[in-house]
Amino acid sequence: MSRLSIANTVSDLIQGDVREHMPLERIPLDGDVLGLGTTTSLDNGELAFLHRAGEGSTHIWKGQAHDGGVRRLTVGDGRDHFPYVCFSEDMSGRGVAVDIAALGGTPGERLQPLIQRAIAQLNDSGALAGAPVYGIRLLAHWDSLIITVSSKLCLGEAQRNRGVARPVGSGAESIDGGDLYACLPHFRLGRSGPAAVADPIRTLGPSLSWDCCGFWDTEPERGRLTVPVAGAHLHLHGCSTDLRHGGHLRHEHGETRLNRLERLVLYPFTSLQSLGSDLAVEDLERVDTDAGPEIRFRVANRGELDVSDVGVAVVVDDSYSGHRYLRLSWLAAGDAETFALPMPLAPGRHRIQVIADPEQSVIERVRGNNGAELELQLP
């Protein structure tokens, strides 16, 4: 059984700014590790997982939104927390190579139908096991290629931008009544520039050989790994083999023209693991100190993802208009923060509530432990 771990989903990104993050240091990169993802909104980019067989490891490269360039990411360089990323275990020796000559094809055929045919042929022959998701590694040569690189790909920003600006010239198709990619920077790889002088797509040059990694989701409508639209099975990131450029391949774009596939390897993933955060309020109590009474509690992150910009509300006697509000800039997975608040109360019965993430802006698997209550009877 081959396992693929998914930290958030593409659908999560579409909902708005994601506050959950997977650190690079927690992604095992020994061996052949397939994956893709995006960096934070502070330094946007697309992640490509490239296997270096001679080194026995996988490197993560980031396509850059400002110029379509590429750089390798390393732990501690300040760009190592990802709001969306998926990654496999070591898949060395578990891929099924496709016979490119036997695959056939027609001049100008799109990449997605080619991969769909390869999966079907190998399934029918028994060489490739059935699976909900297939990993893909390929080496492709293009006559022309359009790529995008995320810029605020937490796509609530794209929706907000539509209220004040109209995206121009991306050539992207309409998805769900709006253009998912239109607000993202587009770049052209080719041997010649655009026919129109005013074409807004920047031409980067003739780096037309690309090393790619991605996924084929048999149920794209679920939005786990691809845009949640029927028929959008293929999500592919990569870098030019000269390591000058990288990003999300717009394989379906009208200007993208495949020359040939040199290598195609498929990996069946039969186990999908969803990673998430899980905030919990614990150990709520009232304590009498020399400085006066106070309440103490702990906010813990019991999930697998770090969380950022977390609010904590403290409400006394259901008076929400007068509640106290705390904020945590960062809470790593497995960590906890302890608070102590002065809490003088008049004699009588009181109820204290502490609620982590009252706005429900953090995506969690479980929310039942986000709050705690304390009933007091003071003389």
* Token digits of residue 271: 């186990």
178 - beta bridge partners? Answer: 175
Domains of the chain, first to last: 3-274 (3.30.1330.80), 276-378 (2.60.40.10)
For 248-286, b where at least 16 C-beta lie within 10 A, e where not — what string? Answer: bbbbebebbbbeebeebbbbbbeebeebbbbbbbeebee
List pLDDT tens digits, range 1-16.
Answer: 899 999 999 888 877 6
* Token digits of residue 237: 């990131």
* Token digits of residue 343: 């809490």
- How far apart (Å, rounded) are the C-alpha atoms in residues 9 and 184? 18
List pLDDT tens digits, range 302-348.
Answer: 999 999 999 999 999 988 888 899 999 999 999 999 999 998 888 99
46 - beta bridge partners? Answer: 38, 63
The sign of the dihedral angle between the CA atoms of 170, 250, 201, 246 is positive
Mean pLDDT of 80-101: 93
| Reported confidence tier of residue 160, pLDDT bands at 50, 70, 90 | very low
List pLDDT tens digits, range 188-235.
Answer: 999 876 655 567 788 899 999 999 999 999 999 999 999 888 999 999
Strands 202-205 and 186-190 come out as parallel
- This prediction has a pTM of 0.87
- Coil, strand, or helix at residue 306? strand
Strands 3-7 and 20-23 come out as unpaired
* Token digits of residue 364: 């969690």
- Coil, strand, or helix at residue 86? strand
> If you count DSSP H runs as helices and E runs as strands, how many of each does the chain have, helices first?
4, 24
- How far apart (Å, rounded) are the C-alpha atoms in residues 241 and 249? 14
